[in-house]
Amino acid sequence: MRPLTLSRLLAHCAILSAILFVVVVIALKLGAVPVSLYGLGHDLLRVLFRQTSQLSSEYQLIIFDIRLPRILLGIFVGASLSVAGASFQALLRNPLADPYVLGVSSGAAVGAIIALIIEPHLALAPAVAALLTPIGAFLGAALTVTAVYFLGLREGQIDSATLLLAGIISASFLQAIIMFFMSTLTGGNYRGIAFWMMGELQTQPPHIVSLVLRFGFFLAAAAIYTTAADLNLLLAGEQEAMHLGVDVRRVRLVVYIAASLLTGLAVSVSGAIGYVGLLVPHVMRLLFGSDHRILLPTAAFGGAIAVVVADTLARTVVSPSELPVGAMTAIAGAPLFLYLMRRRLA
Amino acid sequence: MSSYARSSPSALRPSGDAGDFNSDIRLSVEQVSYAYSANPTQAPLFTLEATSFQARPGEIIAIVGPNACGKSTLLKLIAGALEPLSGRVLLNGFVTHVLPHRTRGQRIAMVQQESPLLFPSRAWEFVLQGRHPYGRTLRFETEEDILIARNALAQVGAEHLSDRLMDQISGGEKQRVILARALAQQPLLLLLDEPTLHLDIGAQVDLLETLRRLASANRYTVVVVTHELNLAGQYADQVALFQKGKCLRVGPPATVFQRELLEQVFQTPLTVELGSSGRPRVNMPSAK
Amino acid sequence: MCSRPRGFVLTRKDARKKILARSSGAALLLFAASSCSTLQAQTPPVSPVAAPVYKDYVDEAGRTVRVPQPVQRIVSLAPSLTETIYALGVQDRLVGDTDYCDYPPDAQKKTKVGGAINPSLEQIVALRPDLVLVTKSLNLIETVHALDNLGVSSYGTDPHTVQEIVSSTERLAGVLGVPEAGAALGADLERHLADLQQRLSGLSPRRVLFIVWSDPLISVGKGTFIADALRLAGATSIVDSAQDWPHMSLEEVVRLQPDFLVFAASHSDSGQNDFDVLAARPGWRGLDAVRNRHFAVISDAVNRPAPRIVSAIEDLARQLHPEAFSTQPDDKEKKIPPPPPPLLRVLDSSMQVPAHLEVCACAL
C-alpha cells in the first residue's frame, strides 16, 4: 500500500519543473537567429543585474521581446489546456474528452471572426484594436459555455452524457458557421483565421491579455485542484461519490466553470492547439497514476513542456518560415494517440 | 506481516459524536413515501407508499420482494440521497436527507452494483476512497487512514487482494473490496443493494456471514436488499416484505415468511418450513 | 514505469505550509520572468548612430508611420513590393524578402525571412531594417502589430485598381526617398496605359472569365485590381461579385458564355496545359470558348499589384484584340484613332523624362 503523499507529489513536480526549465533554455537558444548558450546565460545574468545597456538591441529584442514572451505564452497555454483536458475527462467520464469537446474553441473562433469583420468599421486606437480579437474570442467562448451548460442540464443538474451531447452538437453547429464565414471572407482575413484556427503562438497578445491569462490560469487551476480528491471519487461513479460524501453538484459546477475558463483563455490568445488537452493527461496517467491530486499538477507541467517543444520545432524545422504550432502537435499527437490506444489508455 | 496485522475490530467502530442517544433505536423510517415521474405532466410512474419500520444497532434488516417493487428506492431514501414525498428517515434522531454531504458519508455507507471503472485503480486505493468523508479539501491520506483501510480489507478477508487492479478480480472478490470501502467509512448504517446478485452460493453465504459478524462486532445497523429469501431468512433479524411499493409486513423472518403471503407476493407456489434454529426455509414444491 | 519511492507522511500543517511556500515561489518566479520581458519591451532599440531623424507618413491603410531618414535597409514582405523596389532602382537597399519573392531573379538571392503570412520576426529584427513594407491584401495585421511592438516601422500599401498601383508606386518612392524615380516610373506606366486605351478605344470589350483556380472554380471579384486590369486590357470579367475570390459554378459560366478564358501562368506552356486539362473536364465543352479554343495566357505578373502588371495588361490586350496591334495606326481603315490626347502632348513638352525611359513617339 503506497498512497500518494505530499512529498512524492512535490518530488514529481520538482522533476517536471526541472525538465521544463531545460526545455525553456533550449527554446531560448534555438530559432531563426543563432544564439549561443554561453552568451544567453551571460545576458540573462546581465538582465537580472540590470546591466542592459551592454546588450545589442537586436539581441535584446529577439531574446526578450520575441522568444521569451512566446515561450511564456506557450507555457501557460499548454498548462491551461492540459488541466482543462484532464478535468473534462473526469467531468464527462470519458477518456476521449478534450478541452474543445464542448464547443469552446469553435465559439472562440466565431467570436474572433466577428471581431475581425467588425474591426475595420470601428475607428479604434491601435492599442484597443489589438484587444478586439482576444476579447471577441473570449466572449464567443463564454457564450458557448453558457449555452452548452443550459443545454446540458437534466432535471436541474449537469448530466455528463447530456452535456457531452450538447457540446458536440454546439461544436458542429459553430463549425458550420465558421465555414460559412470563411467562404465569404476576403483575402487577408481568411488567411489569418485559418492560421489562427490551427493554433499559433506567433501573435503576441497585448500585455494585459497575457496577465489575465496567467492570473486566470492560477485561479482556475487552484479551484479545480480543490476538487481533486472529489474527482477521483467521481470517476468511480456519481452515485458512489455522493454516498462517499462528495457534493457532486457543486464539484461538477466548479470544474465545469473553471475548466471552461482555462480553455477559453487559452484559445482566445492562441487559437485551437490540438491534442495537448487530450493526450498529456493520458501520458501523465501512465507515468503517475490516475489520482487527480498528482495528475492535475503534472499535467500542467506536461502541457507546458509539450507546447514549448512543439512551438520550438514549429519555428525551426522550416526556418525562416514558421509552421503553426497546432500542426506540430497534430503530427506528434496522432501517432502518440495510436500508441496509447494500443496500451489501452491506462 | 506488518505491524498493522492486528486487525482490531474496534478500529472500525462507528466514529464521531453522533452517539446513540437512544441505544435502542438507531434507524427510524417514519411514514416514508415517494413518487417518481419521468415527466411533470404525466402521472407518477412509481410510488412507494407510506412505510415505517425501525432498526437497532447490531441488527440486520432484509428488504425482499419481487422486481420493481421499490426496494432500491427505499434504500436511497434511507441513505438520504432522495427526499421523501412524505415522512422522514431518522438516523439517531437526525433526518438523513438534510445532513451535509460530509457527515452523511461518515454515517451511512452504501454498497451497490458498481459502474464500470474508467481508470481502474488498485484495491487499496479503492478502499482508501472510503476515508474521503473524513478528510479536508487539500489532503493526503494519513497513517490512521491507511491503518483503517488495511483493517477494513482484513475484516472482509481481502487483504491478499490489496495490490490487485479492480478490473482484474472476480465478482465475489470485487464485492468484498467494495464492502471494505464501506467499512472504511466507519459508518453507523450499512446499506447493501442486492449484494448477492452475481455471486455463487458459497460467496453469498460468505458475504452474509461476514455481515452478521461485522454487524454484531462493530454494532452496525445493516439494511440489505436481496432476492435471496433463504439468506434473508437465515441471517436477518427483521425482514420487510414489499409488493408494488407497499410494505406488506415487517418483522422477524418467521412472522413474515407465511406461505399464503409469499405465494400471493411472488405469484408462485411455495412452501415454508421451520428449521432447527427457528429460522424459516422457503422451498419450491417438487414438480409433479 | 517510474518507481515509486517510499515517502514519509507529513502532518497536515506542514503539508499546507509547504504547498503554499513552493507554489507561491514558483508563481513569483514565473511572474518575475514575464515582467522581465515586458521591461525590455518598453525600451526602444538604441541605434548605434547618433540622433536618428524620423519623418511621418500616412500609409495606404491609414496608419501614421514613423520612417527613419534616410531609409537604408528595407525588408519587403510581399513579392509585389519586392518587384516595385527593383523597378524603382533601390534594390541595393533591400536586405530581406520573402521566400516567394522570385522576380526579378536577383531577388531570390536576398536574405529570406520566411513566408508572407508567417514570416520570422526574429529574422526580420536581426536584419535591422529601417522600414518593413507590407501590403494589406497579403500580409496579416498581426504581423504589423507585432513589428510595432518591437519598434520596427512598417509601411503598408493597398491598391485596388491599376491606377492605384501606379499612384501607390509613386507614393512608395517618395517614402523611400526616391521621388524622381517614382515619378518617372509612374509616368512611363501611365504612358503605356494611355497608349493602350487609345488603341482599344471604340472596340467593344471581350467578355472573359479569368481563372484563378480551376478546381474548385475560382475567379476574381469586380473590386480587385485584376478585374481592373482586365478592363484596361479591353476585356470585362463576366463575374459580378463583391467577394475578392468568388467561387463560380460551371452552370453559371455556361449561361454567361464568356468569349475568352484567361489564364495566368509563369510559363506559356503551362498555360496551354491548363487549358487542355480544363477542356477535357466534363461539362466544359458547353462553353463556346472551349470549343473554339478561345483562350489567352498571360504572365502571372497580373496577380501582383506591381509595375509589371502593365506589361501583362498589354500582353492580354494583344491576345484579345490583335487587330488593334497588327497594323500601324495610319494604315487603319475606319478605325482611325483620334488625335493624341492632351496628356501626351504635355508629357512631351514639359516632363523631364530621362533618356533611357523615353518612349518613342512613333508607337502611336
Q: What is the pLDDT of residues C115-142, one digit of tens each?
A: 888 888 889 999 999 999 999 888 888 8
The closest CB to that of A237, out of B106, B109, B114, belongs to B114
Q: In this predicted structure, what is the pLDDT of residue C23? A: 57
Q: Under an 8 A CB cutoff, do C122 and A62 touch? A: yes
- Residue numbers of the domain that contains B207: 3-257
Asked if residues C138 and C156 have their Cβ atoms less than 8 Å apart, the reply is no
| CATH number, domain containing residue A239 | 1.10.3470.10
Of the given ranges (A20-29, A247-256, C34-43, C345-354), which has the lowest mean pLDDT?
Answer: C345-354
Residues of C with CB under 8 A from a CB of B: 9, 12, 15-16, 19
**Domain total of chain B:** 1
Nearest residue in B to C12, CA atom: B139
Q: Under an 8 A CB cutoff, do C117 and A195 touch? A: yes
The stretch C78-96 carries a mean pLDDT of 94
Q: In this predicted structure, what is the pLDDT of residue B17? A: 44
| A14 against C283, higher pLDDT | A14
Asked if B185 reaches chain A (Cβ–Cβ under 8 Å), the answer is yes
In angstroms, the Cα distances linking B11 to B148, B211, B218 are 7, 16, 9
Instruction: Indicate whether A210 belongs to any domain.
Output: yes
pLDDT of residue C242 exceeding 50, the answer is: yes
pLDDT band of A211, cuts 50, 70, 90: very high
The stretch A61-74 carries a mean pLDDT of 87
Q: Under an 8 A CB cutoff, do C7 and A188 touch? A: no
Residues of chain C with CATH 3.40.50.1980: 53-158, 185-363
Q: In this predicted structure, what is the pLDDT of residue A90? A: 93
The closest CB to that of A60, out of C2, C40, C119, belongs to C40
Q: How far is B124 from chain A (nearest CA, A)?
A: 6
The stretch C41-65 carries a mean pLDDT of 71
According to CATH, the superfamily of the domain at C53-158 is Nitrogenase molybdenum iron protein domain (3.40.50.1980)
pLDDT digits (tens, 9 = 90+) for B45-56: 667 888 899 999
Chain B residues 18-37 with a CB less than 8 Å from chain C? none
Is the ipTM of this structure higher than 0.90? no
Q: Under an 8 A CB cutoff, do B138 and A225 touch? A: yes
CATH code reported for the domain at C185-363 = 3.40.50.1980
Q: Under an 8 A CB cutoff, do B140 and C15 touch? A: yes
pLDDT of residue C277 exceeding 90, the answer is: no
Instruction: Indicate whether A61 belongs to any domain.
Output: yes
Q: Is A144 exposed, middle or buried (0-12, 13-18, 19+ CB in 10 A)?
A: buried
Q: How far apart are the first and last CA of chain A?
A: 20
Q: What is the value of pTM for the model shown?
A: 0.80
The closest CB to that of A5, out of B106, B114, B140, belongs to B140
At A146, list the grid cell.
453558457
Mean pLDDT by runs of 10 across the 288 residues of chain B is 39 52 79 80 77 92 88 91 90 92 93 79 90 85 91 92 89 89 95 90 90 93 92 93 90 92 90 87 79
Instruction: Indicate whether B266 belongs to any domain.
Output: no
The stretch A205-231 carries a mean pLDDT of 93
Helix/strand/coil for C69:
strand
pLDDT digits (tens, 9 = 90+) for A250-287: 999 999 999 999 999 999 999 889 899 999 999 999 88
Instruction: Indicate whether B62 belongs to any domain.
Output: yes
Cα B200 to Cα B210: distance, rounded to the nearest angstrom: 15
Phi, psi of C353 (to 5 degrees): -95, 120
User: What is the gyration radius of the CA atoms in chain C, in angstroms?
Assistant: 28
Q: Under an 8 A CB cutoff, do C1 and A64 touch? A: no
The closest CB to that of C9, out of B136, B138, B143, belongs to B143
DSSP state of A120: G
- Going by C-alpha positions, the residue among C199, C161, C228 that lies closest to residue C320 is C199
Helix C12-42 × helix A68-91 angle, to 10°? 140
Q: In this predicted structure, what is the pLDDT of residue C30? A: 57
Of the given ranges (A88-102, B112-126, C26-40), which has the lowest mean pLDDT?
Answer: C26-40
pLDDT band of A50, cuts 50, 70, 90: low
CB hemisphere CA count around C294 (13 angstroms): 17
Helix/strand/coil for C210:
strand
Asked if B101 reaches chain A (Cβ–Cβ under 8 Å), the answer is yes
| C251 against C189, higher pLDDT | C189
Of the given ranges (B216-220, C51-55, C102-106, C201-205), which has the lowest mean pLDDT?
Answer: C51-55
- Going by C-alpha positions, the residue among C206, C317, C296 that lies closest to residue C258 is C206
H helices within chain A, ranges in order?
6-29, 37-48, 57-60, 68-91, 104-118, 126-151, 160-184, 187-197, 207-226, 228-236, 238-243, 248-270, 276-288, 292-314, 325-342
A with B: how many residue pairs have Cβ under 8 Å apart?
A: 86
Instruction: Indicate whether B169 belongs to any domain.
Output: yes
Contacts of B44 (CB under 8 A, 6+ apart): B35, B36, B37
Of the given ranges (A154-163, C18-27, C54-63, C293-302), which has the lowest mean pLDDT?
Answer: C18-27
Of the given ranges (A209-213, A298-302, B44-48, C89-93), which has the lowest mean pLDDT?
Answer: B44-48
A neighbour chains, 3+ CB pairs within 8 Å: B, C
Q: In this predicted structure, what is the pLDDT of residue A339? A: 86
The stretch A21-31 carries a mean pLDDT of 89
Q: In this predicted structure, what is the pLDDT of residue A172? A: 94
- Going by C-alpha positions, the residue among A346, B128, A304 that lies closest to residue C1 is A346
Q: How far is C88 from chain A (nearest CA, A)?
A: 26
How many beta carbons lie within 10 A of that of residue B251, not counting itself? 14
Helix/strand/coil for C111:
strand
Q: In this predicted structure, what is the pLDDT of residue B222? A: 95
State which amino acid sits at residue C108.
Answer: Q
Instruction: Indicate whether B150 belongs to any domain.
Output: yes
Instruction: Indicate whether A237 belongs to any domain.
Output: yes
Question: Which residue's C-alpha cell is 496522432?
Answer: A334
- Going by C-alpha positions, the residue among C34, C321, C123 that lies closest to residue C206 is C321
Q: Under an 8 A CB cutoff, do B136 and C9 touch? A: no
Q: In this predicted structure, what is the pLDDT of residue C9? A: 37
Q: How far is C139 from chain A (nearest CA, A)?
A: 6
Q: How far is C41 from chain B (nearest CA, A)?
A: 39
pLDDT band of A21, cuts 50, 70, 90: very high
pLDDT digits (tens, 9 = 90+) for A136-188: 999 999 999 999 999 988 877 778 888 889 999 999 999 999 888 887 776 55
Chain B residues 231-270 with a CB less than 8 Å from chain A? none
Instruction: Indicate whether B170 belongs to any domain.
Output: yes
Q: In this predicted structure, what is the pLDDT of residue C3? A: 35
pLDDT band of A344, cuts 50, 70, 90: low
Q: How far is C19 from chain B (nearest CA, A)?
A: 10
Asked if B21 reaches chain A (Cβ–Cβ under 8 Å), the answer is no
Cα C269 to Cα C273: distance, rounded to the nearest angstrom: 6
C neighbour chains, 3+ CB pairs within 8 Å: A, B
Instruction: Indicate whether A12 belongs to any domain.
Output: no
Q: Choosing among A7, A43, A52, which should be mutated to test the C contact, i.e. which has the most C CBs within 10 A?
A: A7
At A119, list the grid cell.
474591426
B neighbour chains, 3+ CB pairs within 8 Å: A, C
The closest CB to that of A62, out of C118, C126, C142, belongs to C126
Is the link from the previous residue into C216 a cis peptide, with omega within 30 of 0?
Answer: yes
- Residue numbers of the domain that contains A212: 17-342
Q: In this predicted structure, what is the pLDDT of residue C182? A: 93
The stretch C268-289 carries a mean pLDDT of 82
Instruction: Indicate whether B282 belongs to any domain.
Output: no
Cα C19 to Cα C32: distance, rounded to the nearest angstrom: 20
Q: Under an 8 A CB cutoff, do A32 and C41 touch? A: no
Q: In this predicted structure, what is the pLDDT of residue A112? A: 87
What DSSP letter does each residue of B221-270 carry, written as one string?
Answer: EEEEE-S-HHHHHHH-SEEEEEETTEEEEEE-HHHH--HHHHHHHHTS--
Q: In this predicted structure, what is the pLDDT of residue C13? A: 53
| CATH number, domain containing residue B132 | 3.40.50.300
Q: In this predicted structure, what is the pLDDT of residue A346? A: 47
| C218 against B2, higher pLDDT | C218
**Domain total of chain A:** 1
